Amino acid sequence: MVVNGASVVNPHGQRTVAAIIPCKDEADRIVATVEAVLGLEGVDKVVVVDDGSTDDTAAAADAAGADVIVHARNFGKAAALETGVRHLRELESFNATDENSPRHLLFVDGDLEGSASNLGVLIPPVLEGRADMTIATLPPQQTAGGGHGFVVRLARDGIQNLTGWTAKQPLSGMRCLTAEAFDAASPLAPGWGVEVGLTVDILGAGLRVEEVPCDLQHRVSGKDWRGQVHRAKQYRDVWRALTRRRVRKALSQRAPGVAQRF
């Protein structure tokens, strides 16, 4: 149930869910993505953050029924997610009543198109209190990409070393998480390190993470120079996120007060 855009607990005593979609130059795909997400049970709001697009992404998302926030230039995925959540919380605060609870969050990539209708499997474990964050594991993609296995290995090994938990797809961006889990992972790791940072920080807070198979298809980086540059940036950001958390963990074992400020 929604009152003037504010989240309220539904008749079954569960919170509603808001989808946050960070994207850049997705005018050809964002309408189908937004429409699919709006059709998901439990989702009552979609916020699209246009992160410096040079096409008509923002106008297309608005026409599809999303709340749209526009970054004048590209700030990266983590910044776009934080902008979307901040906008959502401002709406909730403005319209809040005593019985309101903050919405849970569904993070969605903007290029999923109609396959986003399959994201519904991520929501029940969170709404029902069985998981604090669910992560979509994807099938083989129809568009052949080019070797980012070295980034996946870095992410998987880093998460395992820091938390003891082994992820099947550590870089998956499609996630449903509680408001409390998001707060535990804030501020988010910058750039493409956001997924690894979310996993490490949420597990480190003693919360529960579950991977859920989900039939999604999205655009995959190719083998040309643009794809190689993307993977290099991804590797850099994942490495930085893991390194920061290794240092933080080491500091916490020596001086907890210092670790909290790091």
In three-state secondary structure terms, 163 is: helix
Average pLDDT value for the chain: 88
For helices 225-254 and 194-204, give the axis angle rounded to 10 degrees. Answer: 20
Residue with tokens 């052949």: 144
Residue type at 29? R
Residue range 33-55: mean pLDDT, rounded: 97
Run of H or E residues at 244: helix 225-254
Q: In this structure, how many other beta carbons lie within 10 angstroms of the beta carbon of residue 10?
A: 14
Query: How far apart, in Å, are the Cα atoms of 79 and each of 1, 123, 145, 256?
Result: 29, 23, 26, 27
pLDDT higher than 70, residue 2 = no
Residue with tokens 């989900």: 214
Residue type at 26? E
> Which has more pLDDT, 222 or 53?
53
- Give the model confidence (pLDDT) of 62-98 as tens digits: 999 999 999 999 999 999 999 999 999 998 888 765 3
> By the 8 A CB rule, do 245 and 193 touch?
no
Determine how β-strand 17-23 pairs with β-strand 104-107.
Answer: parallel
> By the 8 A CB rule, do 125 and 205 touch?
no
- Give the model confidence (pLDDT) of 163-218 as tens digits: 999 999 999 999 999 999 999 999 999 999 999 999 999 999 999 999 999 999 87
> Which has more pLDDT, 230 or 203?
203
- Give the model confidence (pLDDT) of 106-131 as tens digits: 999 999 999 999 999 999 999 999 99
Residue range 158-164: mean pLDDT, rounded: 97
CA distance 80 to 71: 8
Band the pLDDT of 223: cuts 50, 70, 90. low
What φ, ψ does residue 137 adopt, rounded to 5°?
Answer: -105, 130
CA distance 176 to 29: 21
Buried b (16+ CB within 10 A) or exposed e, 199-227: bbbbbbeebbbebbebebbbbebeeeeeb
Band the pLDDT of 142: cuts 50, 70, 90. low
pLDDT higher than 90, residue 144 = no
Residue with tokens 């999303």: 66
Question: What percent of the chain shows pLDDT beyond 70?
Answer: 84
Q: Please, is 45 exposed, middle or buried when counting C-beta atoms within 10 Å of its C-beta (0-12, 13-18, 19+)?
A: buried
pLDDT higher than 50, residue 13 = yes
- 151: Cβ contacts below 8 Å, ≥ 6 apart: 171, 231, 234, 235, 238
Check residue 8 and give its pLDDT: 38
Instruction: Indicate whether this model's pTM tops 0.75.
Output: yes
**Domains of the chain with bracketed CATH:** 2-261 (3.90.550.10)
Q: Which residue intervals of 4-68 are DSSP H helices?
A: 30-38, 57-64
First CA to last CA across the chain, in angstroms? 40
Query: How far apart, in Å, are the Cα atoms of 70 and each of 29, 94, 135?
Result: 17, 21, 26
